[in-house]
Amino acid sequence: MDIELQKVSFAYAPGTPFEKRALFDVDLAIPSDSYQAIIGHTGSGKSTILQHLNALLKPTEGSVRIGDRTIHAGKKENDLRPVRQKVGIVFQFPEHQLFEETVLKDIIFGPMNFGVSEEEAINRAHTLIKLVGLPESVLEKSPFDLSGGQMRRVAIAGVLAMEPEVIVLDEPTAGLDPRGRTEIMELFYQLHRERHLTTILVTHSMEDAARYADRIAIMHEGHCVLTGTPEEIFSNAEELENYRLELPHVVHFQHELEQKIGRKLPKLCLTEEELAKTIAQLLREERDGQ
Ligand code: ADP
């Protein structure tokens, strides 16, 4: 399912002395099946955009189209439940929202609230708990007896149990160790590829954006200032510098290498594996050419 923000502006507490404009004229089209990263410093408006993606916030000006539903500024909306079911949000530290006595009850709460039968919700819970890498025995435990990483997986299973068509991830690996981080990011990438889940990742990590996303949007002080493929975005080091954003380490390394050897590699590599392959290919060509 696709989402399109058109000229979206948003102000918190509009018309009061505390009014704070957080978004200015944001245009952003997120096609079906894409993996969109949204990058920007703290305060640039990422969370505010994210809450527009399933109508938790409504634009002060402009419109947000979510599949076949359009949310217009200043118009009353009724029954936003179908939108909330189709766009699942994994908020930062989602484990803080667990509240039931057992993991099973926590996972089935969302779908049952949206009219799914108990039997079907329980079936989903059994499938999903394994998908997120936990044993089924966890279903009978209290979520509060689990480790932080396990709780996060349970919370993610709870969002997936709604069977959303779009999943929005707000810094989904914050606070996890490097291994946990990779596992969670790979899980979402697998879901994106195998189930064609449109994925929107809000992140500070240039590495994750470079590795997983096929489109990147850069937010700066409430404006969407750059959009493009990772190749386009990370070829533009000066522009990124204007927004005080870094290149991914691997791109830095490639630039240093190119300076050392006095020639450009045939393409910009976005992961260590890709760079290693490109260098190996270059060495092979040199050897064969001699
Ligand atoms: P990010 O997610 O990139 O850190 P946010 O969307 O949270 O950015 O914030 C954008 C701007 O809106 C910031 O200036 C922030 O201080 C302000 N802001 C965020 N939430 C609120 C709120 N509930 N009330 C008033 N201002 C807010």
CATH class, 3-247 region: alpha beta
CA quadruple 259, 252, 35, 163: dihedral, nearest 10: 150
Span from the CA of 45 to the centroid of ligand 1 (angstroms): 6
Ligand 1 mutation pick, 5, 10, 12, 19, max ligand atoms within 8 A of CB: 12
Would the CB of 46 count as within 6 Å of ligand 1? Answer: yes
> Within 13 Å of residue 230, how many CA atoms lie on the same side as its CB?
23
Ligand 1: centre distance to CA 48 (Å):
7
What's this model's pTM, rounded to 2 decimal places?
Answer: 0.93
The verdict on the CB of residue 22 being under 6 Å from ligand 1 is yes
Question: Does residue 220 line the site of ligand 1, with CB under 6 A?
Answer: no
Question: Can you give the pLDDT of all 290 residues of the chain as single tens digits?
Answer: 999 999 999 999 999 999 999 999 999 999 999 999 999 999 999 999 999 999 999 999 999 999 999 999 988 888 899 999 999 999 888 888 888 899 999 999 999 999 999 999 999 999 999 999 999 999 999 999 998 889 999 999 999 999 999 999 999 998 889 998 999 999 999 999 998 999 999 998 999 999 999 999 999 999 999 999 999 999 988 999 999 999 999 999 999 999 999 989 999 999 999 999 999 998 998 888 76
Atom of ligand 1 at shortest distance to CA of 23? 10
User: What angle, rounded to 10 degrees, do the helices at 118-131 and 103-113 form?
Assistant: 130
Q: Closest ligand 1 atom, CA of 48?
A: 6
- The CA distance from 159 to 108, in Å, is 10
Q: What is the DSSP string of 46-108?
A: HHHHHHHTTTSS--SEEEEEETTEEEETT------HHHHHHEEEE-SSGGGG--SSSHHHHHH
Q: What is the pLDDT of residues 182-238, one digit of tens each?
A: 999 999 999 999 989 999 999 989 999 999 999 999 999 999 999 999 999 999 889
12 CA → ligand 1 middle, Å: 8
For ligand 1, is residue 40 a contact (CB within 6 Å)? Answer: yes
d(CA 220, CA 46): 9
Contact 139, 104 (CB under 8 A): yes
Query: Per-domain residue ranges for the chain?
Result: 3-247, 248-290
